[in-house]
Structure 1
Amino acid sequence: MNENEQVSTQSKLAILATALLSFVGVLLETSMNVTFPELAKIFNVPLDTIQWITTGYLLLTTITMSTTAFLLKKFPIKKVFMSAALLFIIGDFLSMIAPNFAILLIGRLIQAGATGLSMPMMYQVIFITVPRRKTGTYVGIASMVISLAPALGPTYGGAMSSLLSWRFIFVAVLPIALVTFWIGIKNININPLGIKKHFDFLALALMSITFFSFVWAANRFGTKGASLISCIAPIIIGLITLGLFLRVNNHGVSQLISFSPMKIPAVSMDAITYMLLMFINIGISFVIPIYAESVLHVTPLTAGLILLPGSIVGGITSPISGMVYDRWGAFKPILTGMLVLTFATFLFSISSSWATPVKLTILFTLLRLGINMAFSNTISNAQANAPLKASADINSIFNMLQQYAGSLGTSILASILAIHQNQAHSAGEIVHQTMLGGHVDYTILFVIAVGITILAFINWHFQTRKGELSGNQE
């Protein structure tokens, strides 16, 4: 696209369609978290099984994302969009009418496949149709969808389940999905980049086993009575299948996804940052409602509302930080956001003795401000430091990593809470142990925030030295 071209109305509507589909998909990722105690009673299954409604969703979304680099090169984006929208509608309907836990989980997994297709597709539409001088703004808007929706999910889920029924979580988004489908088929008209290779099903199977093994290991560590062997064995299996996947993917007759962009230092550092930002975002959005309900004794609706102001502030921040990127380059908003994030996670790590719903709301708002100043600009910076032909692979890699980070974040932080709660022998002890587990979770997130802040400064120094700063930054 010529740098002087404007973004056409058709392109804006195509972006809108993929963004709306991504939004409702990501919204449903975390909207069920506040319903876990209710669903455990309704379907008569334990909480460590119910949590697969979210963990399984995140996991399958990640696996599906690993296929999008190939699909977006092989097929017209309209066909990929139609498939994703239809999958979402089918999954939503099944979840809405689910008579038992198995059907609900199947419906959720079908929707997860739709979300896994829609999110990378949204970025691909932007990078193909939007001139680079406006990329930061549009990627900021797209990232607002990804970062706003998971934090808004518990508020939405809590409101629906408290005021109506958990089934209305799915009822309310169905009209949006139908309208989105109509907008998309009318306005998406982008040809594939072209690829002659066949789909590598063996690589996909190996990657799926790898992802599942690590998440399963994290869950086993939090399961009461689990043996050490049952916790370590999935890690060993995951490491073996990861090695086999890399060999098959890189040396086979076909290729599921190309990791060649990761050889560019700026891209690899941005990828790690992007992944761990989502680990913090999804992880803390999972911990806060449980912590608030168990320790502060608030209702599910109030627990969800704690996240609402931060979600709104984060949503507003993303496009603004994208505009800053377009004007002054990536690292002014990225480094500022990282410092704010580090300060916020530090406050969370020392909040156990003085936490209240209002104070948690303020801290989460500060945290989301920091995350959203940096989040979208990391993928924009990565794209700016790689050739255009690598855009599909970068989209797939980044979205796959950030989604898997959400799955790992949920599993690891939930396991830490479960380990502490399993030590309790009375209701009073459960409150105390949940507080201790929450403190450990918050401390881990603070350490991660410090680590990626240091990495962002290293990336900034590297690109400054190499003269590779993106955007308009000198």
Structure 2
Amino acid sequence: MTNNKQMNLGLAILAIGVMSFAGVLIETAMNVTFPTLMQQFNIATADVQWVTTIYLLTIAVTVPLSTYLFRNYSIRGLFIFANLTFLIGLLIDFLAPSFLLLLAGRLLQGVATGIALPLMFHIILVYAPIRQRGTMMGIGTLTTSIAPAIGPTYGGILTTQLSWHFIFIFLVPVLLLSLVLGLKVIPYHQVEKTGRLDMVSLFGLGLLFTGTLIFLSQIGTLFGWVALAFAIWGTWIFWHQSRHRDQTLINIKVLENRTFRLFLLGFLVCQFLLLGISFVLPNLIQIVNGKSAFIAGLVMLPGATVGALLSPLSGKLLDNWGAKRPILFGLGLSSLGWGLLTLILGVNPLWGFVFSHVVYMVGSGLAYSNLMTTGMSAVSDEMRGDGNAIFNTLQQFSGAVATSLVATIINVVQNHSQLGYQKATVLGSQLALFVLFLALIVILWRCWLFFRTPKAS
């Protein structure tokens, strides 16, 4: 590959990465606005979480289309469509006078991000030399993982000083920069259309994701059980289509690869934790500690910055040393930091939150992108597109599930505990973090067993 082509590859990844960055930034930036939104729109914790959940749900439903889209549309065309859709969503939310209109804008932003995320990794996996793949994946992950570093602070400053509406309008220049850069470096290539879109599979996937999230937010109600039934029905539809069609939305045979399954699960657990803590900690700091959205964002800043900056370094470690050391060491540090964070929530020292979060994010930064790279490297070239779609789809869905799950746990404790509202919020937050802590310990143990085998070494 010539230097010119390498430069264009890097700029193309940057252009799409900037859009993906904006998508993740706006996700975490909105988390610190929840107490404000609850007051302004007179809604409960279980309702306000849909600002994030509907966004992640839309991404999760859009990402499975990526394999079909890459086969039938040019990268340039997909990039332009995603960018313009994102811009429209930003303008709608900047002007949104109601909660429903706010959700509509979030839906459009989810469609755009659902195209941008797999598009960025598709370019890396297809065009980057294999010897540079770990590093390029780390750089690609950096563009999205650095967003949580500044997202809460960005959202906190604007919510405190201006209004949450400005979170959206200030991203318009960022999207325009991405659009101009992408138009310059992403060429148009004629694509020979192959296959038709499997609408039945897409319908089943939509039922599965939507039903699951509604069930989690309506646990214990008749509506919740009905939603669960639809989720199970959707699972059967998607599975049946995948097993009986030649061209499916996603070829789930890639899940028969045990190594792929293990590191996919580890990646999703890390995503659970990232989204769970971005919901729990900012809200706890505002509701229990009585601090502003700006302070809540500042508490998250050091850990998220460290974790983001480690992403490209962790990819370099994988290229040079292999997967074992960065993944196991990273998961171990994550477990230590998360355990400390769970224990000190009831004490509420802000410096303790910062320290524990930094320890956790150092571990996450070492393990997160390497789990994806290792899992994707275990599949064949023919199934790489399907593996990429599964990773990105379940990444967003797991984030939506994590947000919905922790919000539901906190809301249930708040409504049924004999404690006061603030103490119930602390107890609910500790319980939510403990549930996620158990999942982290399990995946650490499974990865340790995997790397003990001679083949893995």
- The equivalent position to 2:431 in structure 1, one of 411, 434, 440, is 440
| 1:299 and 2:297 correspond | no
| Paired amino acid for 1:345 | W
Structure 2 equivalent of residue 387 of structure 1? 380
Gap runs ≥5 in structure 2: none
Task: Quote how far apart the aligned CAs of 1:151 are.
Answer: 5.0
Contact 1:77 1:192 in 2 (8 A): no
Contact 1:73 1:392 in 2 (8 A): no
Residues 341 and 7 of structure 1: CA distance in aligned 2, closer, same or farther (over 3 Å): farther
Pairing 1:305-384 to 2, within 5 Å after superposition: 305-384=298-377
Task: Quote how far apart the aligned CAs of 1:440 are.
Answer: 0.6
Contact 2:206 2:234 in 1 (8 A): no
Residues 43 and 376 of structure 1: CA distance in aligned 2, closer, same or farther (over 3 Å): same
Structure 2 equivalent of residue 202 of structure 1? 200
Structure 2 equivalent of residue 150 of structure 1? 148
Structure 1 equivalent of residue 98 of structure 2? 100
| 1:271 and 2:264 correspond | yes
Residues 133 and 6 of structure 1: CA distance in aligned 2, closer, same or farther (over 3 Å): farther
Contact 2:26 2:151 in 1 (8 A): yes
Distance 1:43 1:340 in 2: 40
| Paired amino acid for 2:332 | L
Residues 39 and 353 of structure 1: CA distance in aligned 2, closer, same or farther (over 3 Å): closer
CA deviation vs aligned residue, 1:326-345 (integer Å, no higher than 9, x gap): 11112211111011111112
Distance 2:246 2:371 in 1: 32
CA deviation vs aligned residue, 1:218-252 (integer Å, no higher than 9, x gap): 1012xxxx53x333332232112101111013313
Contact 1:65 1:120 in 2 (8 A): yes
Local SS of the residue matching 1:386: coil
Local SS of the residue matching 1:355: coil
Distance 1:210 1:373 in 2: 32
Distance 2:228 2:148 in 1: 27
Local SS of the residue matching 1:32: helix
State the number of aligned residues: 457
Distance 1:45 1:431 in 2: 17
Task: Quote how far apart the aligned CAs of 1:43 are.
Answer: 3.4
Local SS of the residue matching 1:358: helix
| 1:165 and 2:163 correspond | yes
Structure 1 equivalent of residue 448 of structure 2? 457
Between stretches 141-150 and 102-111, larger displacement belongs to 141-150
Between stretches 63-72 and 97-106, larger displacement belongs to 97-106
Local SS of the residue matching 1:166: coil
Structure 2 equivalent of residue 472 of structure 1? none
Distance 1:201 1:238 in 2: 17
Distance 2:429 2:43 in 1: 24
Task: Quote how far apart the aligned CAs of 1:194 are.
Answer: 6.2
Contact 2:92 2:101 in 1 (8 A): yes
Local SS of the residue matching 1:199: coil
Contact 1:6 1:131 in 2 (8 A): no
Structure 2 equivalent of residue 410 of structure 1? 403
- The equivalent position to 1:23 in structure 2, one of 6, 21, 24, is 21
Contact 1:276 1:402 in 2 (8 A): no
Task: Quote how far apart the aligned CAs of 1:424 are.
Answer: 5.1
Contact 1:217 1:232 in 2 (8 A): yes
| Paired amino acid for 1:42 | Q
Distance 2:326 2:439 in 1: 19
Structure 2 equivalent of residue 188 of structure 1? 186
Local SS of the residue matching 2:22: helix
Between stretches 184-193 and 279-288, larger displacement belongs to 184-193
| Paired amino acid for 1:311 | A
Gap runs ≥5 in structure 1: 470-474
- The equivalent position to 2:130 in structure 1, one of 118, 129, 132, is 132
Pairing 1:34-183 to 2, within 5 Å after superposition: 34-150=32-148, 152-183=150-181
Task: Quote how far apart the aligned CAs of 1:355 are.
Answer: 3.1
| Paired amino acid for 1:125 | I
Residues 269 and 192 of structure 1: CA distance in aligned 2, closer, same or farther (over 3 Å): farther
| Paired amino acid for 1:101 | F
Residues 113 and 125 of structure 1: CA distance in aligned 2, closer, same or farther (over 3 Å): same
State the identity as a percent: 31
CA deviation vs aligned residue, 1:418-473 (integer Å, no higher than 9, x gap): 01111357xx71111111111111211211110110121233235x42xx66xxxx
Distance 1:393 1:176 in 2: 30
CA deviation vs aligned residue, 1:196-231 (integer Å, no higher than 9, x gap): 22001111111011101111111012xxxx53x333
Contact 1:197 1:255 in 2 (8 A): no
